[in-house]
Amino acid sequence: MIGFATIATVPGLLIGMVCGLIPLGIALYYRQLRPGLLGWLACAFSGFACGFLGGVPMIVLTTAVVISYAYVNKQDPFTSRAALAEVNFEETRLELLLRLLAGLGNSVRAGLVALLRNKAGFIGFLGVLFFFLMSVFGPLLIPYDGRPHPDRRLPESRTLFQAPSAQFPLGLDWQGRDILSHVVHGGQGLILTAGLAGVLTTIIAVVLGALAALLGGVVDQVFSAFSNFILTIPQFPLLLVLASVLTFESNVALALLFALLSWPTLMRAVRAQVLSLRERDYVEAAIALDLGLWHITLREVLPNMISYIVVNMIFSIRVAMYSIVGLVFLGMVPLREPDWGVMIFVGRQQGALSNSISVWMVLAPVLAIALFQLSLVMFTRSLEEVFNPRLRSGL
Amino acid sequence: MTTFTFILIRQMPGNPFSIKVEQLMREQNLTVEEATNRAGALFDFDPNRPLLEQYTEYMGKLLRGDLGKSIISSEPVMNMLLRFLPWTLFSVGLGLLISFGLGILIGMLMAYWRGSLFDNVMTAFASVMYGIPDYVIALLLIIVAGVQLRILPFAQMLGGSTPGIEPGFRLDYILDLLFHAFLPVFTYVITSLGGWMLTMKSSTMSTLGEDYITVARARGLSQRRLLTAYIGRNAMLPLVTRLAISVGFIVGGAVIIETLYQYPGLGRNLATAILVRDYTVMQGIFLVIAISVVFSNILADLLFGLLDPRVRLGKEDAS
Amino acid sequence: MTVTPAAPEVVLSVRNLCISYLTRRGRLRAVNKVSFDLHAGETLALIGESGCGKSTINLGLIRLLPPTGTIDSGEIVYRRRDGQTVDVRGLTTGQLRQFLWRECSMVFQGALNSLNPVIKISSMIYDTAAAHGMDKKEARDRALDLFQKVRLDPRRVFNAYPHELSGGMRQRTLLATALLLRPQVVLMDEPTTAVDILTQRSIIDVLKRLREELNFSVIFISHDLAVAAEIADTVATMYAGEIIEMGPVAEVFYRPRHAYTLGLLEAAPRLSVGREELHSIPGSPPDLVEPPPGCRFHLRCRFATDECRTTPPPLTTAPEDERHTVACYHTATILKTRQEELARD
């Protein structure tokens, strides 16, 4: 289908289980059995879902969590039993690594707690998780039904459309194919493309916005003028025209095009935020200490904006999904099955909207899109808390 | 903006002009030069002249209101635009007006009765509506109300007006127009209402905390006066600035909504023009969209100035 | 101007007023069993640290507490000019709306935010007049007259938007607006805090003159002792939601009997005596969700004894002046300390 699609595989499961041995081993060394086992499960699961892509990053996260349970900072006068004079403030590479990992692990744990606390956000998270599981593990259970089935025509019917039944829970489409299988298989490409588009938008916006605000002067003026220019053109029609003129074959290119058209809003927000953060005391202090541009951006400015950026990224993902489905829906990009947008487009062309038996071909993907978008909206509430240290501490 | 479309059509790789040239060469066995000239006649410009000259000529024509002719139907683009524009202006304008008005009213009441059942129901409603794309709402409306429940005479409501009814300033024609505009307008209202409500609620909440509201209460003002001139007017200010942005958004969404409802406005015709590669019409519609966005920006600024004296008088004595 | 004890017509009587806020940690008793009488023409100054409940009393008196605040118990009785008494707590919303501003108006702290930025001063005046059935022409004449009295250019201010006025002008506009309907009582919440010292001076002068001319009573909230001393007839010191000492201004300032009042006086800078260092009161106000047992001030008090730590001191009357009441066990020691200090100066 597309290059970066992932489907659960058995080798992936093996990779995950092997990866999981690392946090498990470290946990056994620290005598922390429970986090170790959980870490192993998490690694196995994410390896199962995404192979190396899922397993390897999960090693780092789970190991960090395991270490955060066991780690005691020897330099910290509050936790160290050693007298102040005996504390060795020089730390070895290993100790530095341990300290950083423990910090990461603590953040992950705090984030998980925050995730559970906001009810609406947690429901949203479950929704997003559901769609993720559906497109990754669904194909294992429900094989893709791609070929027409003229033999499935009911005796009294003139079309191959069928209303939901016990055998086909969401009915059959115009070629007599199982709609459920199309829903299960048709989301992944869309979600991944929209996700990529959102991430690219965010990267462009954050980099340009931060540069404009921190460098100022001509750079700022050029970027701002350019973003103003793009903002005057309504994005969606422009995307339509460009997508139809340029005719894309790859979803990556489509995601990139979307990102190139939609960065200005977030970029201006980032620029404004950085400018206002710059005024705050602690950043001014950092500037006065001459800590360097990148240090200031990475250590002082970014952590304060991360929640804002993540929320905006989710927003971009939503708009990207909206736009991509819209493009498909209007028939502006090459159609590739299985895809939710294509289902709506073809369904409309084949007259699925004319009666209540055939309507399922359109209703199913429409509901899927609506639920996914809704889950994302609700999920952002939790994300705000997860990434905002002030909200997280509950003050 | 015009410069941008100009360049888009003439100079981009795979631009329509060179595609047409290639097509003519392939289909009618013409030489490059012949094909170029023929295509130039079609696109209404002389490709052999320098780009700058073409550009000035294009801009000159544009200023005189000449947007060229449709590649497909040879109808002047200006005429087509004048035919499409009223439909979109009417439906989008009406939708925006209703959703803005309703959103302000409901949002204010939500803040006023915060924590009440009304507030909770409306907040849930707004968050759901805010999260669902407009065409999804439109499709659900068709599917649920039109196909499953058969509440709406959906098939008759498509299009801009019922064929056969004589246009004119008569009641039956106006009612017919409203009948057909119902679906798009309702969709615009439903999709943008949630955003207005939530913004108005939070804006009203912060206004309610202002000292001048407490003072106004202490002066014994009537509830109505308090809600309009004191709370409403101040809480509305941030929403007005968002008005212009949302015009662009709704016009963008109109492409799909109008296609779905077969509503004969700019959006559906933009979609058609793109599908049949009618570049002059595309260019024209694009221009109108861009102008409408700029225009709504100006309108929003004017409205803001009307509501907030601090902006009206400039900044010379603001403290 | 001091009130002659012979004509103590009480316009506002407050008995055992308790106000609390609902917070995340529980009920916060912001005002605890406060009682006082306000006489016609009298100015009562409430002084104390920020957060001691001064502003809450003010908002409670006109029932404009934020939604989290409630009046738990107590009486607020107001006496109209015609002699009828009004129980403020028993008023319906409509009656309250009529009562406010006509009988009791308010000047809030922070003149900047007390005026609606999007309407003209004239609209504000007309709104107020309309709410109380005063006709437009009368309101206009009255407002122009009052603007003149508070030394503003009447016509210019009347037709101006708030942002066109300076801070001092806005404060005086608010003062004039407060007097529009000839109220008997004006509540003033730190009316001179947000303005510079010269503006403060002129506002106080204006206020004094207006009071003589129009004869209204004032509850004046301030943390600035100098201002309070200048304008007040009676002073009440508040600590942690309670009035701990109250009496005629000269009595309280020259013969304080509560350790907290003494502390406040020691902490105030005095221009007349340039030399000494300023004293501060150690510690910070107590947690009002779980107030300390005994005297609420005992944790910060240098005179505190075991008695103070267990039993709250009752309100007693000073032997020299029956209007001077105080809630402290060590009145004699404190009085002596103050008099020694004054003698040293």
Residues in chain B within 8 Å Cβ distance of C167: 319
CB A369 within 8 A of CB A340: yes
B contacts of A378 (beta carbons < 8 Å): 127, 131
Buried b (16+ CB within 10 A) or exposed e, C151-163: ebebeebbebbbb
Residue B282, Cα to own-chain centre: how many angstroms? 16
Is A197 domain-assigned? yes
Let me know whether A110 and A224 are in one domain. Answer: no
Q: In which band, very low, low, confident or very high, does the pLDDT at C146 lie, cut at 50, 70 and 90?
A: very high
- Condensed to tens digits (0 to 9), the pLDDT of residues A200-215 reads 999 999 888 888 887 7
CATH of the domain at A247: 1.10.3720.10
Q: How far is CA C73 from the centre of its chain?
A: 20
Residue pair C103/C130 in contact (Cβ under 8 Å)? The answer is: no
Distance from the Cα of A381 to chain B's closest Cα (Å) equals 11
B170 near C CB under 8 A: no
Full 3-state SS string of chain C: CCCCCCCCCEEEEEEEEEEEEEECCEEEEEEEEEEEEEECCCEEEEECCCCCCHHHHHHHHCCCCCCCEEEEEEEEEEECCCCCEEEHHHCCHHHHHHHECCCEEEECCCHHHCCCCCCCHHHHHHHHHHHCCCCHHHHHHHHHHHHHHCCCCHHHHHCCCHHHCCHHHHHHHHHHHHCCCCCCEEEEECCCCCCCHHHHHHHHHHHHHHHHHHCCEEEEEECCHHHHHHHCCEEEEEECCEEEEEEEHHHHHHCCCCHHHHHHHHHCCCCCCCCCCCCCCCCCCCCCCCCCCCCCCHHHCCCCCHHHHHCCCCCEECCCCCCCEECCCCHHHHHHHHHHHHHHC
Domain count, chain B: 2
Query: Which residue among B220, B234, B317 sits closest to C118, beta carbon to beta carbon?
Result: B234
Q: Is the pLDDT of residue A87 over 70?
A: no
Q: How far is B219 from chain A (nearest CA, A)?
A: 36
**In the prediction, which pLDDT does A91 show?**
61
Inter-chain contact B139–A366, Cβ cutoff 8 Å?
A: yes
Q: Assess contact for C56 and C238: CB atoms under 8 A.
A: no
Whether there are 3 or more C-beta pairs closer than 8 Å between C and A is no
CB-CB under 8 Å, B229 with C163 = no
In a domain, B317, yes or no: no
If interface means Cβ-Cβ distance under 8 Å, which residues of chain C face chain B? 59, 62, 64, 96-102, 105-106, 108, 110, 113-120, 123, 127-128, 130-132, 161, 163-164, 166-167, 174, 177
- Which chain A residue lies closest to B154 (C-alpha atoms)? A354
Q: C111, C171 in Cβ contact below 8 A?
A: yes
Contacts of A242 in chain B (CB under 8 A): 8
The answer to whether A371 touches A364, Cβ cutoff 8 Å, is no
B6's tokens: 């100009």
- pLDDT, residue A394, reads 37
Choose among B229, B237, B313: nearest Cβ to C119.
B229
Q: What percent of chain A has pLDDT over 70?
A: 82
- Interface subset of B 279-318, CB within 8 angstroms of C: 307-310, 313, 317-318
The chains found to touch A (3+ Cβ pairs under 8 angstroms) are B
Report d(CA B195, CA B99) in Å as an integer. Answer: 9
Closest C-alpha among A154, A142, A179, A187 to residue A360: A179
Report if residue A162 sits inside a domain.
no
- Distance of residue B223 Cα from the nearest chain A Cα, in angstroms: 34
Residues B23 and B137 grouped into a single domain: no
Residue B315 lies in a domain: no
Out of A108-122, A364-378, C64-78, C226-240, pick the least confident: A108-122
Residues B120 and B226 in one domain: yes
Domain with CATH 3.40.50.300 in chain C: 10-232
Report if residue B70 sits inside a domain.
no
Residue with tokens 């959103």: B103
Domain topology for C10-232 = Rossmann fold (3.40.50)
Contacts for C311 with CB less than 8 Å, ≥ 6 apart: C294
pLDDT > 90? residue A176: no
Q: What is the pLDDT of residue A227?
A: 85
Q: Is residue C157 scored above 70 in pLDDT? A: yes
Q: What distance in Å separates residue B277's CA from the closest CA in chain C?
A: 51
Q: Which residues contact B291 (CB under 8 A, 6 or more apart)?
A: none
Does a structural domain hold residue A385? no
pLDDT at position C219: 92
Distance separating alpha carbons of residues C261 and C293, to the nearest angstrom? 20
Higher pLDDT among residues A72 and C119, named by residue? C119
Closest to C196 in 3D by CA, of C167, C228, C226: C167
| B238/chain A closest Cα distance in angstroms | 16
Chain B partners within 8 Å of C102 (Cβ): 220
pLDDT of residue A1: 34
pLDDT digits (tens, 9 = 90+) for A334-349: 777 788 888 888 888 8
Residue B96 and residue B34 share a domain: no
Sequence letter at residue B246? S
- Tell me the pairing of strands C217-222 and C185-189: parallel
* Same domain flag for A216 and A326: yes
Q: Mark whether B105 and B18 lie in a shared domain.
A: no
Q: Predicted confidence band at C142 (pLDDT cuts at 50, 70, 90)?
A: very high
Task: Tell me if B128 and A325 make a contact (CB, 8 A cut-off).
Answer: no
Distance from CA of B84 to the nearest CA of A (A): 16
Interface test with A, best of B192, B255, B278, B294 (most A CBs within 10 A): B255
**To the nearest whole angstrom, how far is the Cα of C291 from the nearest Cα of chain B?**
28
**pLDDT value at residue C4:** 46
Question: Along chain B (319 residues), what's the average pLDDT of each consecutive run of 10 residues?
Answer: 59 56 68 69 59 70 72 80 88 91 92 87 87 84 77 73 72 84 90 90 88 86 85 88 78 85 88 80 81 82 83 48
Evaluate whether C72 touches C18 at the Cβ level (below 8 Å). Answer: yes
Residues C270-293, mean pLDDT to the nearest whole number: 71
Judged by CB atoms closer than 8 Å, whether chains meet at B135 and A325 is answered as: yes
Q: What would the pLDDT profile of A2-60 be if each residue is shown by its tens digit?
A: 334 566 677 778 888 888 888 888 888 877 778 888 888 888 888 877 777 777 778 88
Suggest the residue from B219, B221, B240 to mutate for an interface test with chain C (most C CBs closer than 10 A): B219
Q: Output the DSSP codes for chain B.
A: -HHHHHHHHHHSTT-HHHHHHHHHHHHH---HHHHHHHHHHHHTS-TTS-HHHHHHHHHHHHHTT---B-TTT--BHHHHHHHHHHHHHHHHHHHHHHHHHHHHHHHHHHHHTTTSHHHHHHHHHHHHHHHS-HHHHHHHIIIIIIIIS--S-HHHH-SSS-TTSPPSS-HHHHHHHHHHHHHHHHHHHHHHHHHHHHHHHHHHHHHHTSHHHHHHHHTT--HHHIIIIIIIHHHHHHHHHHHHHHHHHHHHHHHHHHHHHT--SHHHHHHHHHHTT-HHHHHHHHHHHHHHHHHHHHHHHHHHHHH-HHHHT-STT--
| Average of per-residue pLDDT across A134-142 | 80
Question: In degrees rounded to 5, what are phi and psi of residue C265?
Answer: -65, -40
Is the pLDDT assigned to residue C3 strictly greater than 50? no
Quick check: A236 and B253 CB within 8 A? Answer: yes
Same domain, B226 and B303: yes
Rounded to a whole number of angstroms, the distance from the CA of A155 to the nearest CA of chain B is: 23
Of B133, B259, B275, Cβ closest to residue A369: B133
| Distance between A313 CA and the closest CA of chain B, angstroms | 15
User: Over 70: is that where the pLDDT of A80 sits?
Assistant: no
d(CA A391, CA A383): 11
In the listed set A337, A364, A386, which residue is the last one of a domain according to the structure? A337
Which one of A330, A356, A377 has the shortest CB-CB distance to B130?
A: A377
**The residue to which tokens 């990224």 are assigned:** A313
- In DSSP terms, B200 is beta-bridged to none
Strand pairing class (C234-239; C69-79): unpaired
Q: Is the residue at A28 inside a domain?
A: yes
- Does residue B167 share a domain with residue B30? no
Lowest mean pLDDT among B45-54, B128-137, C232-241, C293-302: B45-54
Model pLDDT, residue B196:
92
**What's the average model confidence in pLDDT over C253-267?**
86
- Non-local (6+) Cβ contacts of C124 within 8 A are C115, C116, C177
Q: Are residues B304 and B269 in the same domain?
A: yes
Q: Which residues of B are less than 8 Å from A233 in CB distance? A: 1, 4, 286, 289-290, 293
Residues B85 and B44 in one domain: no
Q: Residue B316: its pLDDT value, please?
A: 41
CB contact under 8 A, A331 and B275: yes
Domain limits at B7? Answer: 2-63
Mark whether B216 and B264 lie in a shared domain. yes
- B45 lies in the same domain as B87: no
DSSP B176-199: HHHHHHHHHHHHHHHHHHHHHHHH
Contact C99 B317 (CB under 8 A): no
Residues B89 and B20 occupy one common structural domain: no
Interchain proximity A362–B274, CB inside 8 Å: no
Task: Answer yes or no: is A280 within a domain.
Answer: yes
Query: Does A199 share its domain with A93?
Result: no
Asked, for residue A160, whether it belongs to a domain, the answer is no
Max Cα separation, chain C? 65
pLDDT of residue B185: 92
Instruction: Decide: B216 and B230 in contact? Cβ < 8 Å.
Output: yes
C329: nearest Cα among C293, C300, C295, C289: C295
Do B165 and B205 sit in the same domain of this protein?
Answer: yes
Residues in A touching B8 (Cβ below 8 Å) = 241-242, 245
The half-sphere exposure of A386 on its side-chain side, counting CA atoms within 13 A, is 18
State the residue range of the domain holding A194.
188-337
Interchain CB contacts (distance < 8 Å): A and B:
113
Out of A285, A304, A337, a domain closes at A337
Q: In chain B, whose CA is at the least distance from the CA of A376?
A: B131
Q: Does residue A368 lie in a domain region?
A: no
The CATH number that applies at residue B132 is 1.10.3720.10
For residue C236, the model assigns a pLDDT of: 93
Residue B314 resides in a domain: no
Residue numbers in C near B218 (CB within 8 A): 62, 64, 100-101, 105-106, 108
B230 CB near a chain C CB, below 8 Å? yes
Record: contact C100-B219, CB cut-off 8 A:
yes
Helix, strand, coil percent values for chain A (each to nearest 5): 75, 0, 25
- Tell me, yes or no, whether A62 and A194 share the same domain: no
To which residue do tokens 């509850």 refer? C219
